[in-house]
Structure 1
Amino acid sequence: MRPTLHPRLLNGRTGDPAVFVEAMHAPGAVLFDCGDLSALSPGHLLRVEALCVSHAHMDHWADLDRLLRPLVGREKTLRLVGPPGLAARLHHRMRSYTWNLVDRIAAELVLEVTEVHPAPPFPRSRLRLRTAFAAEEMPPLAPGPDGALLTVGALRLHAALLDHGTPSLGFALREAVHLNVWRSRLDAAGLPTGPWLAGLKAAVAAGLADDHPVPVFARPAEARGAPRRPLGALRDLVGVSPGQRIAYLTDFADTPANRAAAIDLARGADTLFIEAPFLAADAAIAADRMHLTTAAAGVIARAAGVRRVEPFHLSPRYHGQEAAWISEIEAAFGRPLVPQG
């Protein structure tokens, strides 16, 4: 199965947390935390449709301005999901700037914030460039039947509230189903590759009727007036399999309640990004600072049945000891880690 989701740990295992997730053939991207976004180009930043903030400690939140700077002057809605108090923090952050000339900017930048509280419905706020980012209350959010907070294209975002001495969110990004076009069947049918295949997959994912017309074209310029074929004649070109899952877990104490919530959120993930700041011998320090050890991270990953673990947030106290750090995680996880690449 060719993967749809392509996550990237932006600052390696020792840098400030940030994971950029893009989906193949999809314009939008998702960002988990924004401690340091210097690895992303303006083009990548412009693609971000959802920013998922675990909590507002500086190493997870410091580079928000780098994300927002290229958005000013563009028509854009950026959705943010975070813990209680995120909307107020965002409001004060934006009000630290002077916005006296916003009436000269025609394009509207909108920031929509959802705060995850212990129980739904969850409060939402809107902050708009046109009003100098004054906070406006929105109708509260009731999660969907599967618990999803929002969708980004074909992806659904889930979150769990964890305890880090302050509320800290874990996140999971799930593809409902994975759709893959069989190239051999496409060639056998004499049909071209091209942007029309995105429409075909969208129609299959939506469960549209067999008589739904699907335009067939190799290049965008050919879309208007392109010949159409009924969906029923094209379904066998698309393979359907369970969708991919990515989970992101950082900054929470190793308690039974936190472990249960983390395991449930990460269950079955293809890739789990999980913090592991401390070696097992320093479990007392980890507990005092409400973080995980290597052993706890590996056990959580194994219990969740994830396919691949990508640990991060290694404490600088272990400079030069990454091999030992990885070895402890592998021992607890029960198999080797996939090398970074």
Structure 2
Amino acid sequence: MCASFHPRLINLPFDDPGVFVPFRFEKRAILFDLGTADALSSRDMLKISHVFISHTHMDHFVGFDRLLRLCLGREKELCLYGPPGFLKNIGGKLTAYSWNLVQNYPNWFALRATEVHPDHVLSQEYLCQHRFMPRNAPTRHPFDGILLREPALTVSCALLDHHIPCLGFRLAESFHVNIIREKLDALNLSVGPWLKTFKDALTAGKDPAAPFEVPDGQRFTLGDLADQIAMITPGQKMAYITDAVYSPSNAEKIIRLARGVSHLFIEAAFLEAEAELAEKKYHLTARQAGELAGKAGARQFTIFHFSPRYTDMETQLYDEAQKAYNTAIQGH
């Protein structure tokens, strides 16, 4: 199966956290956390349509300025999500600069920020041409746990405890459409952009009896073409967890977010020998991270956000997490 997206850490595990999720065959990406992101090219940064911020400690949010600078003067909408207080943080960033010349930009750039609370969200729009000054008060909407709903995917979240609210995230693909190349060849159909249109029609739930024309003029119904060239399988799922103390409440939420994911990215700041320090600093140990990954039934997990005290000792973190995962997955 060809994956629809390939998530990866944007930095080494001792550096600022963040996961970049580019989508195959699309000039689009999603980003979880926005610390220093110098390892991402400007081209990759400009693919980002949505940024999900766990919390606004500097190592998770300092990259906002670079992303904002790259987007200035471009026709673009950038959506950002964060925990309680996020709109104040965004406003503080934007009011730190002078915007007296932005009316000269011919393109329309908009920031749309959403602040997440347990039972509602607050949304605010900041337009470049309006010097990023909101024209209206934030709008309030009920919150059911899902931040982004699209035909092909959803992003949901939970509020975790880091001595401040911190968001954990789950990205879930609705289902995956696998194109069978041999079946394409048998119908003398070539690979091209039309395949994305075909996949989009399936994920949008369009009528299987609707006509669908391929580039060489052959005509099919959507359902008939799907039967002939596609194999539909369960979609990919990933989760991103960082900066959360190990507590019964957090553990329950993390396991729910990561249940059955293809890939879990989870912080492991300390070794279990320093569990008391981890609790004091509201972080996870490697053993706790591996155990949570196993209890969630994650098929693969990656630990990151290591404390610098373990420089040149990262193998111990990986080993501790893997051992805990193996034990937990056997009992899952």
| 1:227 CA displacement | 5.2
Equivalent position of 2:196 in the other structure: 198
Provide the residue aligned with 2:72 in structure 1. Answer: 72
> TM (normalized to structure 2)?
0.94
> CA separation in 2, counterparts of 1:172 and 1:331?
24
CA displacement 1:278-303 (0-9 Å, x = unmatched): 00100011011010011110111011
**Structure 1 position 179 matched with structure 2 position 171:** no
Cα drift, residue 106 of structure 1: 2.1
Where does 1:30-49 land on structure 2 (aligned, <5 Å)?
30-49=30-49
Is the Cα–Cα contact under 8 Å of residues 152 and 204 in structure 2 kept in the other structure?
Answer: no
Shift of 1:319: 1.0
Q: How does 1:198-277 map to 2 (within 5 A)?
A: 198-217=196-215, 228-236=219-227, 237-277=229-269
Equivalent-residue separation in structure 2 for 1:104 and 1:41 (angstroms): 26
In structure 1, distance between residues paired with 2:288 and 2:177: 35
How many angstroms does 1:152 deviate by? 5.8
The CA RMSD measured in Å over matched residues stands at 1.7
CA deviation after TM superposition for structure 1 residue 228, in Å: 4.1
Gaps of 5+ in 1: 219-225, 336-341
Partner of 1:338: none
Match of 2:290 in 1: 298
1:167 to 159, 165, 168: 165
- Aligned 8 A contact 1:271 1:308 in 2: yes
Name the aligned partner's letter for residue 137 of structure 2: E
Identity %, equivalent residues: 41
* Aligned residue number for residue 304 of structure 2: 312
Distance 1:294 1:117, change over 3 A: same
Q: Is the 8 A contact 2:35 2:61 kept in 1?
A: yes
CA contact (8 A) 2:151 2:174 kept: no
Asked if the contact 1:75–1:109 (Cα under 8 Å) also holds between the matched residues in 2, the reply is yes
- C-alpha distance in 2, partners of 1:46/1:124? 22
Work out whether residues 177 and 241 of structure 1, in 8 Å CA contact, stay in contact via their aligned partners in 2: yes
TM-superposed CA distance for 1:151, in Å, is 3.5
SS of the residue 2:243 aligns to: coil
Task: Count residues in correspondence.
Answer: 326
Name stretches of at least 5 consecutive residues in structure 2 with no aligned partner. Answer: 328-332
Partner SS state of residue 137, structure 2: strand
State the 4+ residue runs in structure 1 displaced beyond 4 angstroms: none
Asked if structure 1 preserves the Cα contact closer than 8 Å seen for 2:110 and 2:127, the reply is: yes
CA contact (8 A) 1:26 1:153 kept: no
